[in-house]
């Protein structure tokens, strides 16, 4: 059931004020969007609740997306706010099956920001855009008083054209379909935590996974377009939240096999110390895809052939029951229900 089919007021936002957790990408974010924002703005293009809006323009399927980046600190191992802004916007278009045509970037700058720091971030935007093969068409610059923007924020808008081979819809997902993941999870969220100095761990080799997922999308479309049902980049809220959204949208069950999920030792260790579930930790360069069972092997091989995709894996499958539920199974025969992210364990990650 999409947002247009739900009875008005089914999801209600009654929270007295906005908390940081409302921006964490989990349950509170969904309640904010579905209970307050969408009832006032509802229309057919908004209904799928995707990261990109897809619509027809004079016979061409077009995807658009907008995002804002408020990560703290501005630079971290493996990336920075400028690089993140481009990659995140490109990825939102990519998982809609679209190739980006152009991006716009608005810089909100805090008075007192060093010119050299701004230059580094504009260079990061330019470099990431070149790697993704997309131009920056325009944007805006605003300056706010000192203490109001943590140095700088970046807001983006992206537009792309949808590949004719891409027919992505959660409602097309069927029992028996396989769930593919492009690589290790949790690198970005834990890297940001380490960059803040909030965790006394030595993990010098851990870096953010921020990157464009376009090469993975191209590999999937080239190898198994007919069997490609759904894609998502599991950013805020992690793999758990993305798969719960899928389970709700397709009204089927999702089974994931924990031993098959690629995970670095540094991320596993940090999560164990902090009591976090790696499935809830944010990623900025990974891709989840649902592929028909008969085409899953060739699709997985194509993903593993992409540079950086060597650890791509089949991590689960779609089942008829229990509907709208994600169950994680371990190698000892146990299983547990995996919920969407609740609360705000790692604020300001993107």
Whole-number Å distance between alpha carbons of 57 and 325: 36
Alpha helices (H) along the chain: 27-32, 38-41, 81-94, 115-132, 187-195, 214-224, 238-250, 265-274, 293-304
Residue with tokens 């980006």: 100
Instruction: Name which of 27-36, 42-51, 118-127, 252-261 the model is least confident about.
Output: 42-51
pLDDT of residue 46: 85
DSSP 8-class letter at 274 = H
Percent of the chain with pLDDT over 70: 96
pTM: 0.93
pLDDT of residue 2: 52
Report the candidate in 305, 172, 182, 292 with the shortest Cα–Cα distance to residue 232: 182
255-311, pLDDT tens digit by residue?
Answer: 999 999 999 999 999 999 989 999 999 999 999 999 999 999 999 999 999 999 999
Q: With a cut of 80, say whether residue 4 has pLDDT above it.
A: no
Kindly report the CA angle at 181 between 176 and 187, in degrees rounded to 5?
A: 150
138-179, pLDDT tens digit by residue?
Answer: 999 999 999 999 999 999 999 999 999 999 999 999 999 999
Report the candidate in 114, 41, 86 with the shortest Cα–Cα distance to residue 212: 86
36-67, pLDDT tens digit by residue?
Answer: 988 899 888 887 888 899 999 999 999 999 99
């Amino acid at each position: 059931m999409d947002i247009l089919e739900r009875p008005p007021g089914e999801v209600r936002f009654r929270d007295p004020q906005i908390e940081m957790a409302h921006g964490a990408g989990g349950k509170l974010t969904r309640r904010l969007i579905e209970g307050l924002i969408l009832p006032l703005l509802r229309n057919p293009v908004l209904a799928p609740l995707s990261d990109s809006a897809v619509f027809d323009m004079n016979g061409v399927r077009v995807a658009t997306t907008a995002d804002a980046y408020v990560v703290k600190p501005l630079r971290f191992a493996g990336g920075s706010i400028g690089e993140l802004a481009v990659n995140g916007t490109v990825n939102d278009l990519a998982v809609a099956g679209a190739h980006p045509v152009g991006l716009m970037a608005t810089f909100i700058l805090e008075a007192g920001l060093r010119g050299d720091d701004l230059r580094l971030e504009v260079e990061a935007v330019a470099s990431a855009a070149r790697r993704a093969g997309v131009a920056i068409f325009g944007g805006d610059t605003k300056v706010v008083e000192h203490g109001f923007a943590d140095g700088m924020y970046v807001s983006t808008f992206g537009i792309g054209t949808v590949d004719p081979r891409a027919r992505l819809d959660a409602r097309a997902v069927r029992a028996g379909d396989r769930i593919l993941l492009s690589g290790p999870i949790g690198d970005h969220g834990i890297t940001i935590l380490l960059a803040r100095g909030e965790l006394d761990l030595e993990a010098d080799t851990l870096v953010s996974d921020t990157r464009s997922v376009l090469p993975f999308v191209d590999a999937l479309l080239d190898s198994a377009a007919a069997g490609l049902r759904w894609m998502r980049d599991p950013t805020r809220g992690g793999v758990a939240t993305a798969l719960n959204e899928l389970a709700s949208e397709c009204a089927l069950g999702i089974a994931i096999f924990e031993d098959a999920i690629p995970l670095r030792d540094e991320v596993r260790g940090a999560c164990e110390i902090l009591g976090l579930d790696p499935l809830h930790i944010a990623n900025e360069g990974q891709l989840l895809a649902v592929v028909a069972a008969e085409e899953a092997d060739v699709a997985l091989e194509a993903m593993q052939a992409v540079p950086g995709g060597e650890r791509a894996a089949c991590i689960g499958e779609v089942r008829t029951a229990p509907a709208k539920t994600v169950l994680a199974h371990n190698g000892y025969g146990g299983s547990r229900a995996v919920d969407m992210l609740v609360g705000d364990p790692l604020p300001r990650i993107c």
